[in-house]
Structure 1
Amino acid sequence: MTKDGTHASPPCMAAEIDPAYFGSVGVDPEQACDVARWRQAERTRLAGLREGLGQAGRAQVSDRIAGHLGRVLRDCGVGQWSVLSGYWPIGGEPDLRPVLADLHRAGVTVALPVVETRAAPLAFRQWTPETRLVRGDWKISVPPPEAHLLTPDIVPAPCLGWDGACFRLGWGGGYFDRTLAGLSPRPLTIGIALGAARLPTIYPQPHDIPLDVILTEDGVAAKRTDK
């Protein structure tokens, strides 16, 4: 079930796994379906955990993550020549919109991800605090079609769940992994998550791409070590 209440895939959610991965050189289809079912159950649980914080709790978490993110970006040398892709929060995701506005005022070019074509990589349209947003896929606010297309250097991405190897559990549409697979050079990727949303593993599949850093309300929780 997607965020808008429609089915993203068949009951076993095998559509989450590219058929090219099935067979003797890839993932067993039955195992892939088991993983997909487990992930869907975890999405429901983790979304409930986030909603359970309440408005005040989510605002506090957002403020703490925002402070940590500012320090991480400074340490990475993010400045006026950088392009950062943010996100517009849905479903109780940490709200980093004030950070995006601050970055814009500091001279950083800010973009927001947009689904222009279903089941395809995301596009990134330029955003400023004055941008008049329109309703996009999943009813998320996005910059209008005439906004400049950009290629980001840094991509903070909200996570429903995460693990110590920096793999991200999202809503299940697969857009983020498709996008990362097609970006060269690859941007710095920062998972934005709750500390309590850590999982022992997300049971990564061949299409899953690890992030570089996981950032929670307590600071940097994990860093990718296999680069």
Structure 2
Amino acid sequence: MHEEDHPGDEPCFAHHIIGGHVVDADTWRDVARFRKAERSRLYAARRALSQAEQKAQATRVMAMLTEEIGPPEGRTIAGYWLIRGEMDLRPWLSDMAAHGAQIALPVVIAKGAPVAFHRWQPGATMARGVWNIPVPAEPDPVQPDTVIVPLLGVDAAGYRLGNGGGYYDMTLAALDPRPRIIGVGHGFCALPTIFPQPWDIPMEVVLLGDGVRNSPSHPEG
């Protein structure tokens, strides 16, 4: 989904207040500059992929997802509708639905606010939502037990570089109980660090198109 560069901020002398967190303004400017440059580089890498390589990487990730999820019957899995060259998982979502899973897609209700997850099934009528992203035409909110999150970049600790507005971070922080979070992306998206900030939510499992599977460990709290 289209995002800006961070989940809103207000100046506070030498600090910013971002997502309710006080952040040193100079530090945030450096981090934001780094992330903007990395996004540009990674978007270019996506655009350079051939259709055959896109499909091959998506096929690997879908196979790993099937192993990771286990029996789908009775599960509620939130996927996504691809934009900006993201990995196309729609065949896998359709297969999960055919085997008894309830599938949901993210829906932006208001800019700068957490998204909702609305039930989707293959062949469902779609409408244009915020940012012109297709969403289920008939609102049917559900609570997912697993959320599949598209990665533009991801670091060794599982922190995600997305499109920049913090929608997933806001949403995942607000969900109770918190679902299992699985990040999926292309093989080139691995980074040493994204310089995570207090509002960044790490992935529990990372699956990449080159076959890499990572389960970062994070202490509770």
TM-score by shorter chain over 0.5: yes
1:214 partner amino acid: V
CA separation in 2, counterparts of 1:181 and 1:88? 21
Corresponding position of 1:175: 167
Alignment of 1:32-111 (within 5 A): 32-74=28-70, 78-111=71-104
Which of the numbers 131, 138, 147 marks the counterpart of 1:138?
131
Q: Which amino acid aligns with 1:210?
A: P
Per-residue deviation, 1:220: 4.6
The CA deviation at 1:171 is: 0.1
Matches within 5 A, 1:106-121: 106-121=99-114
Instruction: Identify if the C-alpha distance between structure 1 residues 33 and 14 changes in structure 2 by more than 3 Å, giving closer, same or farther.
Output: farther
1:112 counterpart letter in structure 2: L
Taking structure 2 as the reference length, the TM-score comes to 0.90
Tell me how far 1:20 sits from its aligned partner.
3.9
For residues 110 and 80 of structure 1, what CA distance do their matches in structure 2 show?
A: 11
What root-mean-square deviation, in Å, do the aligned CA atoms of Structure 1 and Structure 2 show? 2.1
Residues 17/54 of structure 1: CA separation in 2 closer, same or farther (3 Å cut) = farther
Return the letter of the residue paired with 1:103: M
The alignment status of 1:195 with 2:187, answered yes or no, reads yes
Uncovered stretches (5+) of structure 2, i.e. residues with no partner: 11-15
Q: Secondary structure at the match of 1:219?
A: coil
Q: Are the aligned partners of 1:14 and 1:32 in contact in 2 as well (CA < 8 Å)?
A: no
Q: 1:185 to 1:220 in 2, by over 3 A?
A: farther
Q: Which amino acid aligns with 1:124?
A: F
In the alignment, is residue 129 of structure 1 matched against residue 122 of structure 2? yes
- Unpaired runs of 5+ residues, structure 1, are none
Normalised by the length of structure 1, the TM-score is 0.87
1:61-105 CA deviation, whole Å, 9 max, x = no partner? Answer: 11111111111111xxx4322100011111111100000100110
Query: Please, which of 144, 148, 153 is the counterpart of residue 152 of structure 1?
Result: 144
CA contact (8 A) 2:78 2:105 kept: yes
Contact 1:156–1:192 at 8 Å: present in 2 too? Answer: yes
> How many equivalent pairs are there?
213
Please list the CA deviations of residues 18-67 of structure 1 after superposition, one character each: whole Å capped at 9, or x if unmatched: 17433xxxx31111111011101111110110111122211111111111
Give 1 or 2: higher strand fraction.
2
Deviations 1:107-163 (A, max 9, x none): 10000000011111110000011210111122211102x331001000111000001
Runs of 4+ more than 4 Å apart: 13-17
